Structure 1
Amino acid sequence: MPAVISLKNVTKTFPGTRRSAATTAVDDVSVDVEKGSIVGMIGYSGAGKSTLVRLLNGLEQPSSGTVEVLGVDVGSASEGTLRGLRGRVGMIFQQFNLFGSRTVRANVEYPLKVAGWSRQERTRRVDELLDFVGIADKAGQYPRRLSGGQKQRVGIARAIATDPEILLADEATSALDPQTTAEVLDLLRQINRRLGITIVVITHQISIVHELCDQVVVMENGRVVDSGDAYRVFAHPRATLTRRFVEAVTQGVPAGETLTALERGGGELLSIDISDVTSEDVGEILHRHRARHAVVHGGITEVLGRQIGTLTYRVHTDRDALERIIDEIGERTEIRHLTAAAGAGTAATDAGNDPTATQEVAS
């Protein structure tokens, strides 16, 4: 699919003042966003995500490099061209940005008025949008009477009112509770699938990305440290930051006091990466070798319908069966036979019963 957003070696530096040095918020970033995709740009505060949004909608100009959105070079475009571009790019905000003095209907109608739609066209379109986002019964109410989720639905309806080709969602669920977040994510999926709108999600929440996005860009200190297909990025992370995001959901490999406590329960501890094999695959292998087992640590989540994570099993079996289990699982994914040494930050992979065959656990 063609790229509707293309950033090539983009850097944005803000000049210093008497009290502070110059700051590079975006540092040599190159990213392509394909038409019809949902791309998640994830990073902690200060990663450069918000500046990137302002570059995409032309509110900031790059210090160097090129920003192309729907074929428009944002850095060299006239203000008139940028105004036209912004009509093709919808925006959803964290704090909703609704007009408190206007009804729900008037809020959604506003961009249509600005775009010059007739009264009849506006009425038809607003009715259609409010029904689509599930708040047709709130048309005459004011924002102060709405819940956070309802306000965000108004914001989404307003953002897609003029049939944009791209939708930018800047921390759109950060102010919402988990249940409402799930409802908003489902609505964004429908917008992407039914309307074909490309969506760029800016967030610091790993749960948003792995539940919604098919492509991921991981940012740290203004730079892209990992990117690509969502499953690949999270199942086989290339950056320490990506691993931290995954471990925040899945808990990772036990170490330190956690491992020491688990060892007191007896048996053998096997920590297994769930990516190229599923938890069901592991259970089948353990059953086939007649090993009693239980999951005692870790967690898994789903990305694009596939499992990723790390599970630690307590296994009771004889030495020969244990070696066969480790060999069979080890041919398909990473498996660690945890030993007392792991309490000091290492894990041992069983290699011919050699207790010195150790490797570092990724932090």
Structure 2
Amino acid sequence: MTVISFDGVSKGFPATRRGSAVSALEDVDLQVERGSIVGVIGYSGAGKSTLVRLVNGLEKPSAGVVDVLGVDVGSASASELRGLRGRIGMIFQQFNLFNSRTVRGNVAYPLKVAGWKKQDIGPRVAELLDFVGIGDKAHSYPRALSGGQKQRVGIARAIAANPELLLADEATSALDPQTTGEVLALLRRINRTLGITIVVITHQISVVHELCDQVIVMDGGRVVDSGDTYRVFAHPRAALTERFVAAVTQGVPTGDTLDALLVGGGSLISADVNEFTSEHAADVFEHHGVRHTVVFGGVTDIRGRQLGTLTYRVHAEDDVLASVVAELSTRTRAQLLRPSDAAPTRGTEVAS
């Protein structure tokens, strides 16, 4: 079941004294399925924040249809939008906690707003704090907490009233890598245990890499790439996606690195490693009786599936090298590297 649908959505803002008119989103189509974890990634100005404001009804589209949890945001009344927001939890980059309230008070606040009975709030708050791993911090104030603990409070508050949809807006940008990993693991547990659909807005490809089932890549207000995270990583369709993927996968050596490797003797062959590769490069080398050693590259895990590029130093005659590359190329992207070589562009086709 689709919980978020954008159909030909554009959003513009009129000119002001401080600047000209802005087109924040242009002809955006996307869908988010119930129970999924979807990452929306792009640099500053890509349109991510505007997209979030459309999802929670803080803005209405200039054109197209935004449907969230069965509510047409563009035509909804003020009361309908308030009802929609009550079904959506929000996690913020800077936590947005009440400094004058204890941890317990912060988590209890949305329950009071939602009209929960007083006798039900206490047990619910205790349950939530235990779930996010800070049950012992109930009577602490935000100033006494670490960044990771503050974000756990924010997460507990966001899921307090049993939302159907959780929006995490740059939720890990202010955290160190270890704490980021802990928060991502918590979000994954929320999705799996509670069945809440999660949309993660981020500029960090590592977050998408570690957490998301699906990814939507935005650039200049448009969706330039989207789909299953592994497929998008393995076969990016946009230059921006290429740049993001390069941050978490080791590619083909170029420039001084390539020249230094070539000095070591033999020849260099690079080959992609992915789940669509029907045979490992090592098997091909052995089939042709070619000695080989991995000298560059790496393989990373994308939601339980391998992706990367390995570069091998090989020793063989030119005709054998050509046969090896030809056979590898029937299974994956492969090439014989030379001093002037630059990293090739990945294909645009997405394997089925």
- Superposed CA deviations along residues 227-283 of structure 1, whole A, max 9, x for unmatched, are 111111110111111111111222422222222222111121111112245699233
Deviation at 1:330, TM superposition (A): 1.6
Distance 1:231 1:81 in 2: 37
- 5 Å-filtered alignment, 1:222-301, equals 222-276=221-275, 281-287=280-286, 289-301=288-300
Q: Which amino acid aligns with 1:218?
A: V
What does 1:165-184 align with in structure 2 at a 5 Å threshold? Answer: 165-184=164-183
Task: Give the secondary-structure state (helix, strand or coil) at the position aligned to 2:200.
Answer: strand
Residue in 2 that maps onto 1:129: 128
Contact 1:300 1:310 in 2 (8 A): yes
Q: What are structure 2's unaligned runs of at least 5 residues?
A: 348-352
Tell me how far apart the structure 2 counterparts of residues 334 and 212 of structure 1 sit (CA, whole Å): 26
Amino acid paired to 1:339: R
What is the alpha-carbon distance in structure 2 between the residues aligned to residue 279 and residue 210 of structure 1? Answer: 23
TM-score, L = length of structure 1: 0.91
Sequence identity (%)? 68
The DSSP-based 3-state class of the residue aligned with 2:193 is: helix
State whether residues 277 and 332 of structure 2, in contact with CA within 8 Å, keep that contact through their aligned partners in structure 1: no
Q: If the length of structure 2 is used for normalisation, what is the TM-score? A: 0.93
Give secondary structure in 2 for the equivalent of 1:134: coil
Q: Equivalent residue for 2:154?
A: 155
Match of 1:124, SS state, is: helix
Q: Displacement of 1:320 after TM fit?
A: 5.2
Secondary structure in 2 matching 1:340: coil
Q: Residue 325 of structure 1 corresponds to which residue in structure 2?
A: 324
C-alpha displacement of 1:74: 1.0
Counterpart residue type for residue 206 of structure 2:
S
Q: Distance in 1 between matches of 2:345 and 2:226?
A: 23
The residue type paired with residue 70 of structure 2 is: G
Q: Show the counterpart of 1:106.
A: 105
- Give the stretch that moved more between structures: 84-93 or 252-261: 252-261
Root mean square deviation of aligned Cα? 1.9
Structure 1 unaligned spans of 5+ = 348-359
Distance in 1 of aligned mates of 2:345 and 2:83? 52
CA distance, structure 1, for counterparts of residue 292 and residue 279 of structure 2: 13
Equivalent residues in 2 for 1:1-363, closer than 5 Å = 2-276=1-275, 281-287=280-286, 289-319=288-318, 321-342=320-341, 345=342, 361=345
Letter paired with 1:254: P
**Residue 62 to residue 124, structure 1, CA distance change in 2 (3 Å):** same
Q: Which moved more, 1:296-305 or 1:54-63?
A: 296-305
Matches of 2:259 and 2:306, distance apart in 1: 27
Q: After superposition, give the CA deviation of every residue in 1:13-35 in whole Å (9 maximum; x if it has no partner).
A: 11112342111111110111001
Q: Deviations for 1:111-155, whole angstroms, at most 9, x for unmatched residues?
A: 000011111110111011011101001111011111111111100
Question: What corresponds to 1:350 in structure 2?
Answer: none
Letter in 2 for 1:116: G
Distance (whole Å) between structure 2 residues aligned to residue 286 and residue 298 of structure 1: 17
Alpha-carbon deviation of 1:340? 2.7
Q: Which amino acid aligns with 2:226?
A: S
Q: How many residues align?
A: 347
